Amino acid sequence: MKKYDVVIIGGGAGGLTVASGASSLGAKVALIEKERHLGGDCLHVGCVPSKAFIQASKDIYTARSKGKELGLDVSGSVDLGKVNERVQQSIIAIQKHDSDERFTSLGVDLYKGAGTFTSANTVRVDDQEIYGKRIVIATGSRPLIPPIEGLNDAGFWTNENLFKQKELPENLLVVGGGAIGLELSQALSRLGSKVTIVEKGKKLLSTEDESIQKAAVYILEKELTIHLNSEVKKVQITSNGRKRVTIHKGNEHYTEEYDQILLAVGRKPNSERLNLNAAGVFQDERGFIPTNEKLQTNVPHIFAIGDINGKFAFTHVAGEEGKVVVQNAILGVPKKMSYNHIPWNIYIQPEIFHVGMTEQQARKFGIKFSVYEVPLTDVDRFISDQEADGLIKIITDQNGKIIGAHAIGNGSGDWMQAVVFAMKKGRKIGDLSQMIYPYPNHAAAIKRTADLYWRSKLFSGTIPKLTKKYISWFR
């Protein structure tokens, strides 16, 4: 039996971070991956293909809408097969960074197959059993398939098969109005499908700040048909191959026909094949594996990172958790994972950016706060780009320290990073005003918002009265 300093189950973002970090420090590492290629869902069916898909839809939408404004006549239908060819090209290009050769060259032993615990320190892969002084579970998640009558017989799409499709449905039903559902709904609508979203909740984007949520819904409703408080109960195949869907809304129910169904109702952890009982590892009723601040499970030498621990289902979080595990499991240096300044983006157009508290959260926790908000119609670059839909909002405590920042605007996931840095370093909103922003750029939205802080401090109250007297004397 081969023995390792660390055995990693799962070759996605988190697992690869641990593998590269641990091997670079001199640890003997085994990496187990059940799929043919490393990279996990993010690379093959998640972040990378979805963003390539969204960009293709944006290109089409821009050509049609902006072209018409400029006197161009853009016509024709989209070839979904061509779109997905471009998506696959993006995957192939990035796959080189996560190749088997890269990790074997680092000294990592790769095992292709499903890893299953046989004890708290041993894992079986096919007919091989290996020993790990430390073990990291990074098996990720997959689309949740709801128990809807007739759904399996009727067939459906998820993010796992969407990016291999060649026929664009004329009428598409999207079940689920979360981030994935909204991103793909808008993209497919812009490619040419008539898209209807059925969402069980009372509103969309419930975790976002109210100002952002309202602005986003206003924009999305221009392109999508959205049914809230609604649930799909039954699917039947019609004689012409379409899908007849029964939808319940309160005490009412109705039927509609669609060419295809896309599921986006959440994620399910990949934990059932791990045989966690053999290792004594606890999992909750949903199958997620709880961890402490050091990312240890209830068995101290076994760690869980990424989607599998049920905290934040983001690739960048899995990578950060991987770094924490390297310190704890490989170096033995106590390190706690902090989620205080985790940003995220929702890649609809315009993008939504989120970090820290929302205004409703600050109010709920009884925090005394101030809000500084600017519409993008006040920012010259967005006006010149003809992309001024959106706003930026920064929330501070009474001392000006940033406790939350939110935006909806073209590229906000990029130009809002300065705020993340300021929060991480404990800087105040006024510091963002002191930076010099090249004119005209998108990040000037941050400056305009931060300037509101100084206006409230310098140009109200007693200071203007004192400066008026001083100026009069100075003359």
407, two tokens? 């935006």
Domain extents in the chain: 2-143+268-331, 153-266, 350-458
Q: Determine what percent of the chain is predicted with pLDDT higher than 70.
A: 96
Q: Is the pLDDT of residue 21 over 70?
A: yes
CATH match of 153-266 with 3.20.20.140: no
Q: Is the pLDDT of residue 460 over 80?
A: no
Q: How confident is the model at residue 464 (pLDDT cuts 50, 70, 90)?
A: low
Rounded to 5 degrees, what angle do the CA atoms 173, 143, 234 make? 40
| Domain 2-143+268-331: CATH class, spelled out | alpha beta
Distances 56 to 115, 184, 243, 260 between C-alpha atoms, Å: 37, 12, 27, 20
pLDDT score for 461: 59
pLDDT score for 463: 60
* Mean pLDDT of the region 425-446: 95
* Mean pLDDT of the region 115-129: 96
Q: Is the pLDDT of residue 438 over 70?
A: yes
* Mean pLDDT of the region 168-172: 98
pLDDT score for 43: 93
Average pLDDT over the chain, rounded to an integer: 95
Q: Is the pLDDT of residue 189 over 80?
A: yes
- Binding-site residues for FAD sit at 51, 115, 139-141, 307
Q: Give the type of residue at 234.
A: K
pLDDT score for 470: 61
* Mean pLDDT of the region 332-348: 95
Q: How confident is the model at residue 465 (pLDDT cuts 50, 70, 90)?
A: low
Of the listed ranges 64-68, 127-131, 158-162, 279-283, the one predicted with least confidence: 64-68
Q: Is the pLDDT of residue 467 over 70?
A: no
pLDDT score for 69: 86
Please tell me whether the overall predicted TM-score, pTM, comes out greater than 0.85 for this model: yes
- Binding-site residues sit at 51, 115, 139-141, 176-183, 199, 266, 307
Q: What is the pLDDT of residues 382-391, one digit of tens each?
A: 999 999 999 9
Q: Is the pLDDT of residue 458 over 70?
A: no
- Binding-site residues for NAD(+) sit at 176-183, 199, 266
Q: Determine what percent of the chain is predicted with pLDDT higher than 90.
A: 91
Q: What is the pLDDT of residues 223-265, one digit of tens each?
A: 999 999 999 999 999 999 999 999 999 889 999 999 999 999 9
d(Cα 40, Cα 8) in Å, to the nearest integer?
13
pLDDT score for 229: 96
* Mean pLDDT of the region 24-40: 96
pLDDT score for 290: 98
pLDDT score for 474: 67
pLDDT score for 268: 96
57, two tokens? 């839809």
pLDDT score for 251: 86
CATH code of the domain made up of 350-458: 3.30.390.30
Instruction: Evaluate whether 153-266 and 350-458 have a shared fold.
Output: no
Q: What is the pLDDT of residues 309-339, one digit of tens each?
A: 999 999 999 999 999 999 999 999 899 999 9
Which of 314, 289, 320, 336 shows the shortest CA–CA distance to 137? 289
The residue among 426 and 68 whose pLDDT is bigger is: 426
pLDDT score for 442: 97
